[in-house]
Chains A and B, each alone.
Chain A
Amino acid sequence: MDDGLDDAELERHLRQSWETPRGIWNALATVDHKIIARRYIVTAFIFLILGGLLAVAMRIQLARPEARILDPDRYNQIFTMHGSTMMFLFAVPVMEAMAIYLVPLMVGTRNIAFPRLNAFSYWIILAGGLLLWISFALDAAPDVGWFAYVPLSGPEYGSGKRADIWAQMITFTELSALAVAVEIVVTVFKQRAPGMSLDRIPLLVWSMLVMAFIVIMAMPAIMFASSTLILDRLVETQFYNPAAGGDALLWQHVFWFFGHPEVYIIFLPAAGMVSTIVATFSRRAIFGYLPLVMAFIATGILAFGLWVHHMFVVGLPRLGESFFTASSMAIAVPAGIQIFCWLATLWLGRPVFATPLLFVIGFIVTFVIGGLTGVMVASVPFDTQVHDTYFVVAHFHYVLVGGAVFPLLGAIYYWFPKMTGRMMSERLGRWAFGLIFVGFNLTFFPMHILGLLGMPRRVYTYQPDLPWGGLNLFISLSALLLVSGFLVFVIDVVRAWRSGPQAGPNPWKAATLEWATSSPPPAYNFRRIPVVDASDPLWMHPEELAVTAGQRVDRRELIVSSVVEALPEARESSPRDSIWPFWAAIATSIMLIGSIFTPWAVVWGSIPIAVCLIGWFWPKGTAEDIS
């Protein structure tokens, strides 16, 4: 029990039970959500840089007509790798990584639910990313687009193991994403600090919760897709072969039933970040907490009703298309609610123009454009002209970069002190923002025009007599500006991590619980678990938060609370560090990679996985723990 211990002694005990000791094996075995999340975030950003370099390569090739810098085979690998890397290895993982870091701190608990699963999910996505990038280095990367339409990706036309590698990499990210989603749902529902009832949950946590539910609903579709593709290619099933009664359109339905919600998997956490940053830098509570939560949930539900708008030119029945036009347009309403609530918060508050807020302003400017072009492509007749052209390339970069990367960069500036204990530079931050904002718009806005002028996407070159040369050259040059902005950002991160000024626990004077502990937080997150009686606890109680007492400190113990009111229900022990999730991830990777080549890998590969799982779940501990 912690009663009667003074702070120093309490900390010593907590450190002893929660800290991961030094050493490489201990580092592989850690289950601390903060350590795992930091790795996850850094890994995701490395994939962002790699994916960005591929974009630069494409822009060099497209700067001039009939350029021969990249041959078509390499170019097709590059755009496939760019899309797959950005979607599966950067955007989704980085949002989940932010959730892994922030959610336990924001709900006031000591670790995420299922911490060993959390460790496993990181190793598994790392393995999937390495598989993809090693295949690229060996000139065997997938080359059929990140959407991998059959029959082009099927056994007849997708030669070699390229499409299999793509499908298996997808499986890695499915496993990882699904694991994290389950952890988030349980952490949010069962581990909130006493008193944090549903109407006091920070908006970021709400957005992560809805994101997790979308992952849980959408992943089965892509699991079906990647498994059936592998089966078609490896054991000659005929899911997608029309000559044998299969259907090429089945793939598109299944893929987009996952693929469209995927956009909201990326966007919703960004909306949570925006809500947090807007409130903190407006120096007031967010305007419209309830409408925002409702808008998040509505977005999550509507996300599943509009996948067909990716298929408006495949020749589906008119009535179906009309329905999907209406539902695609309807999602603009919750998006509008969010934008207006943020604007109202800024209007009512006293905005402080720190770098995180600059990125949020950049987000509003660009995301509204992306949302409006989204309304355009939701219209069937409009879409028949712009589908699969550069107009769409422009649209989704405005949505994904404008709607998710801008908030994410703002979030990195905002939470960097919490993660590292150091501040990033305001001066470099402004430069990074300015270059990225201007570079982004100069790069992507002209693509709308290119699309209307008839330039299809995914072309490795174009003929000189087509009127696209000038704009393409302009875009390629602007991309350099964008790249230089990211370079400033990376320099700032590296510099600040090594030698930035100390941040202190709450440098932005923010309201949510993660700022109630030191920066970076100790292994046990909070010395004593806070008690919450408001949605912005640190503003309500600027002096000191009420805390709980009576928790054991000689073992890893969490408070389990009720779903709605967050009333404490039980004290439960949280798993110790274990090397087994690491070995389980290795065994799983070997099985998945083996199954690219032979179905028997699934049979034999399951044995080592079973061994690892036994190690993972083997009950260990004192008699008292078990009783």
Chain B
Amino acid sequence: MKRTSTLLLLASLASGCSGAQSALNAEGHAAIELKALIVGVIFVCAAVWLLVMIALVLALARRRDRDSGAISERKAAVAVSGAVGATVLVIAGLTIASFYTTRALSEATTPELTIDVTAQQWWWQFTYVGSDSAGGFVTANEIHVPVGKAVRLRLKSSDVIHSFWVPSLAGKQDLIPGRENTLTLRAERPGIYRGQCAEFCGLQHSHMALFVIAEAQADYERWAERQRGLGAEPREAEAVAGKAVFMAKQCAACHTIRGTRALGTTGPDLSHVGSRRTIAAGLLENTRGSLAAWIADPQTLKPGNNMPLVPLSSDELRQLAAYMEGLE
């Protein structure tokens, strides 16, 4: 099982995630319903447009020397009334189709899992709410969900308005300061689905991506178990030094690494950062090199983001990147 999902992960990496952020590449329960509606409505509207165009061409190209004015006038009145009647019917049909889809989407399903989503300029925080038997944990920009299970997202914002959108799984929903919205996802097939903030939220709105990784229940459980645990203690000398740098510099003021003194909450929780596919809200692939590049100069890579430039020697940088990478 583990191997299949790894293969899948590799496959989608190789394909460059093409189509993974598309309403037409529907892999979630809601997105599949929506795609049916979208395709149907587009088909009907294309037909209407064609009919109007045919009428336009006929009106312009009609031979004018035959029928007399008076009769045509009456004919035109009948034609126009008929067309208006047809318009009313088509509009009514589309409205009803829209209502049915809304109803299908809001069918009560008891969610098996609840995740709190907090959007911030310009990254996502995901809090897996703990149960009696298992504790909760926090991650960033990436969530794992079990395939075929309804997942309820509680959407909140800590600054401006954002919008949570993973088009392959469901339609979008805004996150609004002072309010809480919910969105239910159900991935029907395993895969890695890209999403992106859809409401303009300031300077780095463009770079506020997220990934939903849908996998078999067992894989999901294994992943969640590991996330619940504390981050691995560094063993290599370089990583051990990196941990010391992290605690000594400003890093710990903004970031949390559970089990250490680092308890900052303004930046993403880094307890298991090494296990994520990307960093900086989907901007860079998560490698030791890009971790180092990001820490060294976040403002050039993502101008205007809230991560300050922390002056570090090149040794410190290397050590820090090694430590981050090891936090799996």
Contact = CB atoms under 8 A, between A and B. Distances in A.
Contact of B49 (A151, A314, A332, A368): A368
A348 B69 contact: yes
B83 A151 contact: no
A344 B76 contact: yes
A382 interface: yes
Interface string A459-471: 1111101110000
A333 B45 contact: no
B106 interface: yes
B176 interface: yes
The prevalent SS among residues of A at the interface is helix
B80 A326 contact: no
Interface string B178-206: 11010000000000001011111111111
A313 B19 CA distance: 23
Contacts of B211: none
B49 A385 contact: no
A365 B69 CA distance: 26
Contacts of B179: 242, 248-249, 315
A378 B167 CA distance: 18
B38 interface: yes
Interface in A511-561: none
Interface stretch (B55-63, B220-228, B287-295, B312-320): B55-63
Contacts of B94: 329, 375, 379
B21 interface: yes
A459 B17 contact: no
B7 interface: no
B160 A361 contact: no
Given A340-B80, A373-B45, A453-B22, A384 B203 contact: no
B79 A344 contact: yes
A386 interface: yes
A456 B166 CA distance: 11
Contact of B206 (A343, A376, A462): A462
A387 interface: yes
B148 to A, nearest CB: 22
Given A343-B56, A452-B22, A149 B200 contact: yes
B161 interface: yes
Contacts of A149: 160-161, 199-200
Interface residues on B, range: 35 or more
B101 A249 contact: no
B52 A382 contact: no
A376 B69 contact: no
A500 interface: no
A350 interface: yes
B84 A322 contact: no
B23 A151 contact: no
Contacts of A343: 52, 55-56, 59
Interface in A491-522: none
Interface string B71-113: 0110011011001100110010011011101100110000000
Given A315-B179, A385-B31, 9 more contacts: A145-B200, A314-B174, A318-B102, A341-B80, A346-B59, A351-B60, A379-B101, A453-B21, A457-B200
23 contacts: A144-B202, A149-B160, A149-B161, A152-B160, A249-B179, A314-B181, A315-B176, A336-B87, A343-B52, A343-B55, A347-B55, A351-B59, A373-B45, A376-B38, A379-B94, A379-B97, A381-B34, A384-B34, A385-B172, A387-B172, A454-B196, A463-B209, A467-B22
Interface of A: 71-73, 76, 144-145, 149, 151-152, 157, 242-243, 247-249, 287-288, 291, 313-315, 318, 321-322, 325-326, 329-330, 332-333, 336-337, 339-341, 343-344, 346-348, 350-351, 361, 364-365, 368-369, 372-373, 375-376, 378-389, 452-454, 456-463, 465-467
